Amino acid sequence: MATTTSPGPWDRVTRTVNDATRKVPAWPLYIIGAVPPVWIFVAGLTGQLGVDPVKAMEHQMGEWSLWLIIAGLCITPLQRFAGIRLLKYRRAIGLLAFFYILGHLLIWLVLDVQIPSQIIADIVKRPYVTVGFAAFLMLIPLALTSNNRSIRWLGAGWRKLHQMVYAAAILGALHFIMLVKGFQLEPFIYAAVILALLALRLSWFTRWSRRGR
């Protein structure tokens, strides 16, 4: 992207964004992040989500979860390839993604399937549920270690542990692909975006792009 050495419009954008983010703290993200789930729940209760509110809530929370996972995966490539530094927001985005997925799961458990024996049967026997549930389980240790103390305590291991989000993201995309009927484009778009963001992290790509500059 940045092929010229003199500061172009793109560099100005980068500088403006970086200057702004230096001043904006991460904590408001938690408050803003609480808005969509609350809105979805209230909309479901008040009949604004159509005639099948449970499915609509489930689907919307699932979609929001994927958006947040994708947003979290964008941070490193944005810094590496565009020089935009958003690292300080990554923890909030990751934790929000985890809580959204927890919400998505709870809607499915409590409002949709309801029956305990069927919940267990679904997790074991239905591949799309198994895949989604596995992704959720993978994110539990990541959520638990998303704090400064864990980073210090785990040292170099922390980074290794948190690379598990790559696997969880792939499983999340797969979960969406597996649950639709017939051939539908939307889940494949999510999968393509996630795979592209992961590909940007491959060492050969990083080396290739450095050589290109």
Judged by the rule CB under 8 A, the positions of this chain that interact with another protein are 44-45, 47, 50-55, 111-115, 118, 121-122, 125-128, 178-185
54 or 198: CB nearest another protein: 54
- Per the CB < 8 A criterion, the answer to whether 70 and 41 are in contact is no
Closest distance to another protein from the beta carbon of 129 (Å): 8
Q: How far is CA 82 from the centre of its chain?
A: 20
Closest distance to another protein from the beta carbon of 96 (Å): 23
114 or 147: CB nearest another protein: 114
169 is written with which tokens? 């993201």
42 or 144: CB nearest another protein: 42
Number of other residues whose CB lies within 10 A of the CB of residue 92 = 20
- Per the CB < 8 A criterion, the answer to whether 195 and 170 are in contact is yes
Closest distance to another protein from the beta carbon of 135 (Å): 17
97 or 107: CB nearest another protein: 107
Closest distance to another protein from the beta carbon of 33 (Å): 22
Q: How close are the terminal C-alpha atoms of the chain, in Å?
A: 9
Residue closest to 40 by CA, chosen among 64, 60, 65: 60
